[in-house]
Structures are given as C-alpha cells and as structure tokens.
C-alpha cells in the first residue's frame, strides 16, 4: 500500500472484477484511525453555532472565522484572529460554548455499528480537546476509543501528520498498516502526510480531497477482522471510476 492510499492488485487491493462479483470492496488494514467530527459524530451544526457566537462576542465576522475552523485545533483558530494577550481567555470561552452545545450532536449513520465491530483496533485522532471530544462522543451514544489523540497531545495539529503517527505508534503498528477515515481536506492531508495505507473519505466535503474512496456515511462500512468492507451502494467516489458495478463492459483490472 502506498502513502496516497493506492494499492496494486498484486498486493490484494480489490479490483473491478472483485467488486462486480461481491458488491463490496475491502480496504485491507490492521487498525483504523478515525477523525471524530463529521466522521463519527455529526457536529457541524453545533460547532458552527458555537463559533458564530464566539466570533460575535469577540467582534469578529462569523463567516471569516467559520471558513477556517473545520479540521483545525481551536487554539490555532483563535491564534489566527486574536493577539497573544487575549488568546487564553478566548480559548477557554470557545471550549465552554462548544461543550454546552454538545446536545446537538448525533452519531453519523453506521458509526455505532462499525465501532461495535471493532475491539482494540481503532483510535480517534481529533483537533478537539479531550474534554470536548469525550462530551461529543457521549452525547452521540458512541464508545470512548481505546486510543485518543487530541489537539493537546501533539505539537502540530492537522494538516501535520503528528496525530496520526502517534495514534499508530500507540496501537503498535506502522501508519501504512492503518486506514484513516476523515471528512475534511485538512484531515485528509494529514492522513496522506502520515503515510496511511488507505484514506477513506466521509461525506460530500471529502469529494474535494485526495481520498480515492469516499462514502456518504458509515452505514455501508463494516470491520472484517483484517480490513474495512465498503458496500458499493454507500460510495460517493469509487476507488476507480471504471470499477463501478454498473459498467456494461467488463473493465480491466486497475490499481486503486
């Protein structure tokens, strides 16, 4: 498997022929590293509401602030807009607003079933703080991860690869043995820089990223014990556009 998420057929990557026969593809991996927001938890509304309030309180244009918050640590966002002497209190304020609003968070379809099928083979790597991600997972009725890497645990947040590299280390595997599941361009860049074996994008935003496989949500994704099985019906972007089971002609075998 290569750092950009591609794999040659000789190494076991699912091909068009496989997909036509089974209706699924399998992303072979030993561990799965998830982002939280937009991947496991639907928190966009809650997050944008919180940041809009925060921006208004600090005399900032909400649209400008919202443009850069997704996939970025709160501390990094605050630093973009406020001078050093105001950042400590401003960071504490956005944390308080976001935690207050976690009741708006719901699970991404399929997340609960997928996580139930995993045991110790997964981690969450998030730009959020430990308190916030824990509150969001709890509000969404999802389990706490065996390994959690937050924005506070690394020197550099996404799109730097530090969080994913640390998660793989704690799980005892190299990053290239992991599938990374992300929704944002910033997160996909981090996973690609880390050297992920596979990059699985979630949601329409991920269509604008380098993820070769993108699903609408996690409802068609399951754990096989040695990889992620993805139903063709859940795909927004197949690994190869010529691999679609709807193709009339039997396609050639492609790397994914």
Query: Residues of 87-96 as b/e, b for ≥16 C-beta within 10 angstroms?
Result: eeebbebbbe
> Residue 229 domain-assigned?
yes
Average pLDDT over residues 14-31: 74
Q: Where are the alpha helices (DSSP H) in 125-242?
A: 130-139, 162-171, 185-194
Q: Which domain holds residue 194?
A: 9-41+105-243
What is the tens place of the pLDDT at every residue in 142-181? 999 999 999 889 999 899 999 999 999 999 999 999 999 9
* pLDDT over 80 at 7, yes or no: no
How high is the pLDDT of residue 151? Answer: 85
In Å, what is the CA distance from 200 to each residue of 59, 77, 166, 169, 188?
A: 38, 26, 19, 20, 9
> Residue 89 domain-assigned?
yes
Residue 26: enclosing H or E segment and its boundaries?
strand 24-28
> Residue 222 domain-assigned?
yes
Encoded tokens for 17 = 């022929």
> Residue 118 domain-assigned?
yes
3-state helix, strand, coil in the chain (%, to 5): 40, 20, 40
What is the tens place of the pLDDT at every residue in 198-227? 999 999 999 999 999 999 999 999 999 999
In Å, what is the CA distance from 1 to each residue of 77, 124, 175, 192?
A: 34, 22, 11, 12
Taking residue 109's Cβ as centre, other Cβ atoms within 10 Å add up to 14
Q: How many domains does the chain have?
A: 2
> Residue 2 domain-assigned?
no
Asked if residue 161 and residue 48 are part of one domain, the reply reads no
Asked if residue 185 and residue 94 are part of one domain, the reply reads no
Asked if residue 138 and residue 83 are part of one domain, the reply reads no
What's the first-to-final CA gap in the chain, in angstroms?
Answer: 10
What is the tens place of the pLDDT at every residue in 53-90? 999 999 999 999 998 787 788 999 999 999 999 999 99
Asked if residue 86 and residue 177 are part of one domain, the reply reads no
Asked if residue 127 and residue 163 are part of one domain, the reply reads yes
CA atoms within 13 A on the CB side of 2: 10
How high is the pLDDT of residue 253? Answer: 28
The residue behind tokens 């509401």 is 49
> Residue 119 domain-assigned?
yes
Asked if residue 121 and residue 232 are part of one domain, the reply reads yes
Asked if residue 79 and residue 27 are part of one domain, the reply reads no
């Amino acid at each position: 498997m290569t750092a950009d998420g591609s794999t040659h057929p000789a190494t076991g990557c699912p091909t068009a022929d496989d997909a036509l026969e089974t209706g699924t593809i399998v992303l072979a991996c030993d561990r799965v590293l998830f982002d939280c927001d937009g991947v496991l938890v639907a928190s966009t509304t809650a997050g944008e509401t919180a940041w809009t309030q925060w921006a208004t309180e600090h005399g900032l244009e909400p649209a400008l602030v919202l443009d850069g918050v997704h996939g970025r640590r709160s501390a990094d966002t605050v630093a973009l807009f406020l001078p050093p002497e105001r950042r400590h209190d401003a960071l504490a304020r956005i944390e308080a607003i976001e935690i207050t609003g976690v009741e708006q968070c719901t699970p991404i379809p399929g997340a609960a079933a997928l996580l139930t099928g995993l045991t110790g083979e997964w981690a969450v790597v998030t730009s959020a703080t430990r308190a916030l991600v824990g509150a969001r997972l709890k509000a969404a009725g999802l389990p706490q991860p065996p390994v959690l890497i937050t924005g506070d645990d690394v020197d550099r947040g996404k799109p730097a690869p530090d969080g994913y590299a640390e998660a793989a280390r704690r799980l005892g595997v190299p990053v290239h043995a992991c599938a990374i599941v992300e929704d944002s361009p910033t997160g996909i860049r981090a996973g690609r820089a880390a050297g992920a074996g596979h990059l699985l994008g979630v949601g329409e935003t991920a269509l604008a990223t380098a993820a070769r496989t993108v699903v609408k949500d996690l409802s068609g994704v399951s754990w096989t014990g040695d990889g992620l099985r993805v139903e063709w019906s859940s795909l927004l972007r197949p690994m190869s556009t010529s691999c679609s089971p709807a193709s009339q002609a039997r396609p050639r075998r492609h790397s994914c």
